[in-house]
Amino acid sequence: MSGPSAPSVPPVPPYGPYREDCPWCGSRRLRARPGGDGPRQGAPHRSALVRCHDCRHVFRNPPLTPGPERPVVRAGVRLKHGRAARAMVRRCPEPESWLDVGTGDADFPLTARTYFPYTSFDGLDPTPRVLRARAVERVEEAFVGRLTDHHIAVRLRERYDVVSLFQYLERVADPRAELRGALRVLRPGGHLLVDVPDPRRLSPVHPVGLSAELVAQGCTVLTGTRGHRVIARKDASAP
């Protein structure tokens, strides 16, 4: 064989379809996040953070398809992971089992291990990257899929002491369903850690926001309304 004969694979488009409505509440009143460059329908090379006017959910539009993070995004991530892990140490110092959702290459478990040397970290991701993460022992068990997949929900039901979601809900088509899925794999009394891009969406004046949803699902929210991080405990009486 001579010459470059490898079959050409069409490149995966970096973005999903542009959304006209909020994935959290369905409102169509979407606005560019202040300081951002706004929704750009028909602009294939840009994905902007937009905020729902009604519930203040912040998400990427069009959503990024799963893949390696851009270098600029990756830069501050390790610091953020360390801060989040330390915040969880204070509330839940010795979890046995932890699921990191949307874990990608399992960067968070790698950092969190420093603070939780006796915890077993598993990873869930829609891409096979999580399998590679297991191969290099960043996670103990790897699951390819989503919290909303039936086989994942059944297999992992009430299994974890901690479930973490970093910059995940703003990337998925149905964040409310994913959040409920996260609570299902958490054991009663377990802790949920959610990293959010815009703390204003947590304001109690927005009854359809994340905190309200967590309370409605039988959780106690342990963090204030001003941080980028939400820690909640699933109460024993939660459904």
Binding site for Zn ion (CB under 5 A): 22, 24-25, 27, 52, 54-55, 57
Minimum distance between the CB of residue 22 and Zn ion, rounded to whole angstroms? 3
29 vs 70, beta carbon nearer Zn ion:
29
54 vs 141, beta carbon nearer Zn ion:
54
Minimum distance between the CB of residue 72 and Zn ion, rounded to whole angstroms? 27
Quick one: the chain helix, strand, coil %, rounded to 5? 25, 25, 50
Minimum distance between the CB of residue 175 and Zn ion, rounded to whole angstroms? 10
For 207-231, letters b (16+ CB in 10 Å) and e give: ebbbbbbbeebbbebebeeeebbbb
Minimum distance between the CB of residue 53 and Zn ion, rounded to whole angstroms? 8
Q: Kindly report whether the peptide bond that precedes residue 62 is cis, defined as omega within 30 degrees of 0.
A: yes
173 vs 222, beta carbon nearer Zn ion:
173
What tokens does 13 get? 């488009």
| 3-class secondary-structure state, position 230 | strand
55 vs 186, beta carbon nearer Zn ion:
55
97 vs 167, beta carbon nearer Zn ion:
167
Looking up tokens 């299902």, which residue turns up?
A: 184
Minimum distance between the CB of residue 35 and Zn ion, rounded to whole angstroms? 20
Minimum distance between the CB of residue 52 and Zn ion, rounded to whole angstroms? 3
57 vs 81, beta carbon nearer Zn ion:
57
Looking up tokens 């028909």, which residue turns up?
A: 42
Supply the DSSP symbol for 8. P
| CB-count burial class (<10 Å; 0-12, 13-18, 19+) for 190 | buried
For 14-44, letters b (16+ CB in 10 Å) and e give: ebbeebeebbbbeeeebeebeeeeebbeeee
